[in-house]
Every structure is written in C-alpha cells, then in structure tokens.
A and B are shown apart, each in its own frame.
Chain A
Amino acid sequence: MTTRLFGSGIRRREDPRLITGQASYTDDIKLAGLVHAAILRSPHGHARINSIDTSAAAAAPGVIAVYTGADTEGVLNPMPCAWVIPDSDVKAVAYPPIARDVVRYVGDAVAVVVAEDRYQAEDALELITVDYEPLPTVINPEAAMQEGAPQLHEDAPSNQAFHWVAAGGDTDDAFANADVVVRDTIIQQKLIPNPMEPRSAIATYVPAMGELTIWNTTQNPHIARFVTCLVTGIPEHKIRVIAPEVGGGFGAKIAVYAWDMVTAFCAMKLGRPVKWTETRSENFVSTTHGRDHVEYVEMAANSDGRVTGVRSVVYAGMGAYLSTAAPGIPTILHGLMYSGPYDIANIKADIYGVFTNSTPVEAYRGAGRPEATFLLERLMDLVAAEVGKDPVEVRRMNLIPKFENGHDVAIGLTYDSGDYEGVLNVALEHVNYDQLRHDQAHGREHGRLTGIGVSCYCEICGLGPSQVAGAVGFGGGLWESATVRFYATGKVNVFIGTSPHGQGEETTFAQIMSEELGVPVDDVEVIHGDTDTTPMGWGTYGSRTTVVGGGALALSARKIKDKAITLAAHLLEAAEADIEYEDGNFFVRGAPDNGKTIQEIALMANVAWNMPEGMEPGLEATTFYDPPNFSYPFGAHVAVVNVDPDNGHIVLERYVAVDDCGPQINPMIVEGQVHGGVVQGAGQALWEGAVYDDNGQLLTGSMLDYALPRAHLVPDIETLSTVTPSPHNPLGVKGIGETGTIASTVTIYNAVIDALRPLGVTRLEMPLTPERVWRAIQEAGGHHGHGHSHSHGHDHGHDHGHGH
C-alpha cells in the first residue's frame, strides 16, 4: 500500500538542511585560487565623473586588479532590458555594467577591486579617488516628469521610460454618466526586498575551453545564462549558471545584475575564480527595489454602489535604469488587473514608467498586483462611504458571479475560474462580521478606535502562455519543462527548469510524483538550479512554478504511466486495454495481486531484458509545457486594528486570510506562503519604506532604519481556504506565493482608515507610522470623541519595561 500524499501537509524536506546550517549558499562555496571582488559605489545620487584615480588602490596590499567602466567598455555589452512592451515607446537606455562618465543613483558601480581577500579589497576601495561633479537629483517619479526636472538620460526626454495605455469599454462615457465618482491619490512607496541572503556570484573561466561558470543567487538560472551570453559574448552553450541554495528572492533575484557580469569579467581577465558577495549595506542600494508608484485613481459608480468604471494615471518609478523585467510590472501585471474580482465594464490604465535617481525597481512579491488590488479596494471603500453602504455590501454587489470555465473581463483577459462571493462568505462567517461591526460601534462609544478592513482580490499569476509573453514583449518564453527519470532501483530523479528558492517545491513536486505514479515521496529527489543538469525553464517568479513547472511534471509522469502500461501488458502477457493502474500497481483487470509495481516496471525498463517490440529502454520522460492561460487565484481577507489616538500607534489585532488556489498539494506549505505574504504586505502598510533625501541619499539604508516586520508585531494569522480548480492546467492548481502580499497591504490600510474615520481622517501615506497617524488625527481636528484614551493603546508593540 503506497501512501498517497497529494493534499497532505507533510513537512518540507528542505527544512532540515536549512535550519541546521547544512545548506550551501553561493557565498559558502570556496574554490582553489579564489579571489574576492568589492565594488566601489557612487555616494552621489547623480554626478558627472570627471576622473578616477585607481593607482593607490592598485598598489595596495593584496590587490590583484582594479577595473573601471573604461576597462569593461567594449568587452561587456550594456545590461539588456528583457521586457520591452510593444507600442509604449520603451526607452532602453544604455545601462553599462560599470558607470561611464555619469553615475545616476547612490549605489551605481564606479570601479571594482579584486584582491586576495575581501578585507584587502574593501581597504583598497577607500584608496580610489573619484572626482565627482554633483548634479541635481530627482527621486519622486511624478516630479521627475515635470518640466525642469533633472534629466537622467539624454535619450529619455522628461525621464519618460515608457508610456503604456490599456483600456476596455469606454471610461469617458462611464465617468461622464456616473452618479458617483470617487478619487484618491495613492503613493505606493518604494520598498526594499531584503531577502535573507544578499546577492552573490562566483565566476570561473577556463580560457582553454572558453567556458564560463557562474554560481549565482538567482531565481532563474536559465535566464541568467541567456543574459550572460548577451552581455559577455560567450556562446550560451559555453556558459553554466548554477543557483545553489538561494536564501529568498521575492523578485529581487529575477534581474540579471551588472555586478554578476562584472564578476565574470574579472574572472575572464584574471583567469582565477572571483567571488563577489554584497554586504547588507550594499544590498540596500544595489539590489532592486519594488513598487514606487504615484497614482491618481478614480472609480465611477451608480448611486446604489454598482461600479461602472475604473481609471488611473500612474507614475511608476523605474529607478535609474531599466532592470531586466521592470517595464512589465506596472503595466501587464498591474494595469491589466483593474477588474480584480469585480464586474467592471469600463477600465483604463494610463501608466508612465519614469527614470529617477534611485536604485532600479523590479518585481517585488506581488509585482504590480498588490498595487492594483490596493487601488481597487481603496476605491471600493470610498464608493461605499459615498453611497452610504457597508463596504462589504458594495463589494458583494460588484463581484463577478461564480464561474468554472473562463470569464472574460473588459480589459481582455480571460479568468480561469472563480467563486469570489464564496470566499467572501467564508471570511465574513469566520469573523462574524456583524458582531465585529457591533463590537466596533460599542468600542467607539468608549473611545476605542477599532478598524475593520475587508478586501476581495483576484490576481494573475502562473505566468503564462508563451504566445502572450511574446505579444506583450517579454523577452523569452514562459513555458516550463520537467524530466522524470526512474532508475533500476525504482528511485526517481525529477529535473526541473524552474528554480525554487524557499517555496518548497522539492517537497510538493515529490508529492505530485507520488500522486501520479504511486511512488513514496522519499523515493523522489527534485533537482533544480543548474543549467547543465536541468532542462530548460524560465524560472521561479510570478507564482508560476507549481502551475507551469508542476504541470510539466504531471504530464511527464503521465507519459511514464503510459509507457509503464505498455510494458506491463507485455510482461503480463495481456492486452494494453486490459491493464489497470492503482496506487503504483499495474495489473490485469481483476488480478491486482499479480500485477507489476512501478518499481518492477522501472527495473525491467532499465535493464531492458524483455521489452516489447520497438520500445526504447529506460523509464524517462520529458515534457515541455506551455499553459493555455494564466492562473487567477482569489480570496477575501479581513484585518482588525486598534489605533491609540494619543500617539498614533497601530496594533494589528487580527488577520484572516481566505484564499483559493485550487487543489492544495501541501496545505502546510500553502499556509506558510500565505503567512509570509501577509506579513510582507503588512510590512508595506505599517513599517517599510525607502526614504531618500533631496540629494538621493537613502536614509533607510540599514536594518536600524528600514523596518522589516517582526514576529511579535504580527498576530496569529487565521488561514482558511476554498477549492476552485483551474480548468487550464493539468493539476488544476493556482499560484499562492504572492496572494498574501497582494491582499494584505490594502486590507490593513483600509482597517486603519476605518478606525480613524470617526475622527475625520480619510487618507494616509504608507507606511502608517505612529507619527503619520498622530499627525493625521491632529490635522483632522484633534482626537475628540474618545474620553478614556489611557485605557488602551499601551499593549502590543508598545513596551513597558520588559519585552513580550
């Protein structure tokens, strides 16, 4: 009897090595003759480089070489942007791996030192003299497009990186004829992803063979190889990219980084392996950031709250250069999702990508969809307030009715399946919404500022059909491949093109194998992250690994099953049509005790002593799977907060997440993904944000100032789910890696506004720091209406003498 484990919350097999320190990250790798690179980074937000003197550094102890942009020019090609959206005038400005002439943000690379050890390299950096001529800077993406703003690139007038418009229906008509129009200005502040493992690369080059190997902390080694080929000129088949253990990415390890190319350059020049690992301080300025939108958003509705239109003008900061996938994020992954789970006939997204003097922006968990969900849910609350209805009621009347096989929305997408009212009902019932509102009203009478936020979301992930990828300018495919290889002993290796880095697919993909072929999960090992040993794939991002890579795996397993049936029929001397399969056993109908197990089949296929006529030896299958559609998970989240009007301190009291990602392969991992996502979204709402001064200096450049969420500031997250299979992939699954972040920021934000509404506060900027909340209360006319402020607000997160 084989234990079938699809749907079981078994423990992650990744965890023992991670929590006992046995995992090997890029920086852990040591090669004979390894030398160390350190990168000199611009201390200016914008400056002309008049001259660089590296002579003292070159003469310093242990220093092997010092290179500047003059050395890499003509050897390394500029960094390419790989998502050039059609019809949007994308300015793919020159992005040299090491700056020439002009630095455009604090962190831009100016020179690299290679030394025998890292301390020597760091010491030598201080000996490089750069004559900078500071230039004016601009950080805010809307300000950057104003006349007279400092210009970053000659070939991008007004700092406009692109202009993209998407529309469905007729928004002009909808807004002209609306009973109610609500508006808001939303600042999606710049976020700094901060994966636990900073970025790192080791490059080694064998001149005699012309082969370059890069160990690289990346979410997509095959894309890294592709781009490395474009930048270094080394043919793709001579490049090997290995992603060892990768300590989190959250989108910040999608980009192929200039610094990895510089590391490769050093290795090629010196003929020695070179390691570069960024420090945490360096990570804050040199690894990509997320979000950074200034949005003007509007919603049109009838007087009863029926929404007729949504439109936006968005200034999306790109940072100083276009990172690998950056243009696709505020456009395809944002503007196309303005319907969310709602039936809205008229939609228009008007998006400007803008260069600013700051670290380049890339995907950050959710990547465009948190911003879309935020504006929709924000506007829904404003409509509800305007028409005098409960926010839940307004949402409910606008939800798309349940559908199981495709639903077209105005912007042109076809959602796969959805039951939006179903998740909302589960959430409301779980929290006892009416009671919650009653308690809130009661608390208000006693000065207690409780707020409730309820959000519905639907997001686009499981990227995606390659034909669509091509149509929207993505510089690659979005299919995946998986090879299943049975050995004579019945054990299995699964080789995948995607590259999980914390999401747990080594476990869940073994569970898929167990489901498909009845093998024990412990007999399956999942191999990923090495371009030389894994089949081609486009990587792990956009919540696509399980949907697309898992789909490829399931199809490979099914090919194996087909072959096993043929072989079993041969061995059992029966007709194929008479062979049945159950729990890893192939048998003649009615005679399960005399069957052949998958392990016996694997042995016979591998030794090939007795194969049917024309059948190849071995038991192995590869599938290249291109999904016919994206996947569209959805859910409803509820947050309850309390605000202390005396000091503006917010306590997140309760968080409920109801999510539908179709059938769950491992509910524990799903729950973990939701937890992590919700907390990262809470980070944006309450604590996180990159703050720059007028000169482009990052003021939140360390863990002392940039507040990542801490466990004790977050309540137990209550997770529930419904199951609505997707009709568009072999397993019926939908991505779950980003939903938490997509929903939680606005859910918490709306809860805080809900708490403050009696005081007259209607909007705030994130993060919702105590001072911002306190100021908003003061500006709204002081904190009248609460008589007993001392009776609350000194609990969680507000320490009294000892910690908790």
Chain B
Amino acid sequence: MYTPDFHYHKAGSVAEAIEMLGHHEDSRLLAGGHSLLPLMRLRLARPATLIDIGGLDELRGIRVHDGHIHIGALTTHGEIARSHDVQHANPLVAEVAGGIGDPQVRNRGTIGGNLAHADPASDWGTIITVMEGSVEVQGPSGSRSIDIADFFQGAFSTAVADDEIVTGIRVPTLVRQGHGHGHDHGHDHGHDHGHGAESISGEVGEYAKMSHPASFYPVIGGAVVINAEGGRCVSARVAVGGLVPTPRRAPSVEAALAGQELTAGNLEAAANQLASDLGDEIIGDIFASADYRRAIAPVEVKHAMLHAIGLAHH
C-alpha cells in the first residue's frame, strides 16, 4: 500500500486551486482522501500532482436559507449528521449522513469528494437525486450550478470539467407539517411510531439500504420523499442507487404512488413498478448479482416507503 511518486501542492484558496488545476498536467484534488488515497495506495490511480484543498475553510460549512440547505463541499459526513440546522431543515439528509460508513469515514470523508467520485451506489448520489438538489462548481470562467439530474455522467464520471472544483451542494429543505412526523423518521430500532398513515400531511422522506458487509458501502439504496395530504400521496419522488451506473429516479414508481392512499398494499404495488425504470444496464458483482439487485431493489424502496409513513413494524 505504497503510492507511486507524486507532487503535492496545498492550495490557499479556491481561486488558487483552480489555477493549479489548469497549470499542472494530470492533477487531482485531494479533499478528505477517502476515495483517492486508497486508489493511489493500490496504484490504481496515479495522478502526477495532488492539489490539497483540505484546508480551504471557504468550502466548509452549512447554511440554511430560503428553502435550501447549502453545504460546503468540504463539509464532512459527520458534520452534516451532527448539524442541528440540517436535522431541522431536512432530517433525511442528516440521517443519511450519519449512516455513511463508520465514524472514521464520517469524520474524514466529505460530501463534495463523495459526489465528485461518483460511485454508482453512493448514499449521497441517491439522496441528492431524490431531493432534486444541485451541485455548485467553480472554474476559470466562474461558477455554475449543475442539477443533480445532469451531474452524473456514468459510473465514476461527472459533468464537472477538469479545471473545475465542486464547491458546494444545494439541497431543498423538506416541507414541514403540523405534527412533525416528517422529521421523525421511524427507523430507530424500537422506536414506536404511534400514528398511522392517515394522519400524515406534508413531506416525509426516508432511505433504506442494504450495505456490503465488508465495505459498509451501499449495495442498493432506495430513497423516497412522499408529499402527503390526509393520508393520501399527493406526489412522490423516488430514487435508487447501486443498480445502474448512476443514481436514478423511478418515475414509474412515483406515478404509481401519486394520488394513492398510503396503505402498505399500495406502497408495495408502487415499489414493484421499479423494474420498468431500470432498463438492462443493471450492475452486479460477486456479492450481489444484477439479477439479485433487480429483484431486491423494490424491497428496499418498499422498506423506505413504509418507514417514511410510519407503517413499518419492528
């Protein structure tokens, strides 16, 4: 686990980092180092130059403003999980952050680095997709915002140009409602949900995943946000990760849910529409084949839905 030789530069500002990116051939940005450094140690990645942006405080931090959470690209998963602002504005995001990897990963890994790495099964890819968030990038010609739907170009490939830096992520808040169920996701073990689907109004979100027992990385992740009114689904957003080369929305499932009463049967029926949203390019590996992922993905989506509306039992 010894890296090949490389040059190292520490950037003093985003502007300087962008300049360095343009100046050094074959350079890569180093943030939390949780994706890039292992690849370098295995000699699978061999950048000539590392530009360390880890010290740039301007890329760190969380702001809630005008219906959105802005998360600096260097903000760690742990910081997001522990943020009271995020916990209030979008508990789904906070809880997903708290479920990434293990404490070491959460305290070093960054949301920007995670999205820029673009692993098909990344928790963040799936969650930002279901939240219809966007990624802010900055390059020599200024800043731009990339809709998450346009961000992922394929496995480990994004719309970020070689001379651009991911600077932040914008995520809409979850719309609050009266009794606050949407903020109180019922997936704590032994947590008593106490109320049924009929009482749900407002937006509720949930994420369910099957994790790989070795890496803890998601094998399949299913995320849902249900906008409910009096126990009925007004509209829904559903996204899955780990199935095809990029996180993917599930329009068939969303359509099947819209207007339906939030019963377990209806949720399961909607989740079972997922296959028609996936196509033929489902990925597989020695732990979970493509066939298995195809069969299990609706189960994860169903679990997420049942938990979101408090119908899951323990």
Contact = CB atoms under 8 A, between A and B. Distances in A.
Query: Is this pair of chains taken from one and the same complex?
Result: yes
B98 A802 contact: yes
Nearest to A710: B213
A615 B1 CA distance: 60
A182 interface: no
Contact of B187 (A281, A713, A802): A802
Interface stretch (A173-181, A427-435, A791-799): A791-799
A705 B215 contact: yes
Interface residues of B, number: 53
A703 B5 contact: no
B4 interface: yes
A801 B207 contact: yes
Interface in B204-245: 206-217
B4 A123 contact: yes
B187 A801 contact: yes
Contacts of A122: 2
Contacts of B307: 794, 800
Contacts of B95: 801-802
B6 to A, nearest CB: 11
B2 A790 contact: no
A118 B99 contact: no
B248 to A, nearest CB: 19
Given A647-B299, A790-B264, A799 B2 contact: no
Interface stretch (B23-31, B58-66, B168-176, B281-289): B281-289
A749 interface: no
Nearest to A796: B189
A758 B187 CA distance: 29
A605 interface: no
Contact of A801 (B92, B214, B313): B92
A774 B292 contact: yes
A726 to B, nearest CB: 38
A771 B289 contact: yes
Interface string A767-778: 001110011000
B303 A794 contact: yes
Contacts of A403: none
A710 B127 CA distance: 26
Interface in A272-307: 279-281
B7 interface: no
B124 to A, nearest CB: 13
A803 B99 contact: yes
Given A771-B287, A771-B289, A774-B292, A790 B214 contact: no
Contacts of B43: 126
Given A708-B214, A801-B187, A802-B187, A774 B264 contact: no
A797 B213 CA distance: 8
Contacts of A687: 213-214
B5 A119 contact: yes
Contacts of B92: 801
Given A647-B300, A799-B209, 16 more contacts: A119-B2, A647-B210, A647-B299, A649-B210, A700-B286, A704-B212, A705-B215, A707-B213, A770-B292, A770-B296, A790-B302, A790-B303, A791-B312, A801-B95, A801-B206, A801-B208
20 contacts: A649-B210, A704-B217, A710-B216, A769-B287, A770-B288, A770-B292, A774-B292, A790-B268, A791-B312, A797-B211, A798-B208, A798-B210, A799-B99, A800-B208, A801-B95, A801-B208, A802-B95, A802-B96, A803-B98, A803-B99
Interface of A: 118-119, 122-123, 126, 279-281, 646-647, 649, 686-687, 691, 699-700, 702-708, 710, 713, 769-771, 774-775, 790-792, 794-804
Interface of B: 1-5, 42-43, 81, 92, 94-100, 102, 185, 187-189, 206-217, 264, 268, 286-289, 292, 295-296, 299-300, 302-304, 306-307, 311-314
The 4 lowest CB-CB distance pairs between A and B, nearest first, are: A800-B187, A707-B214, A801-B95, A707-B213
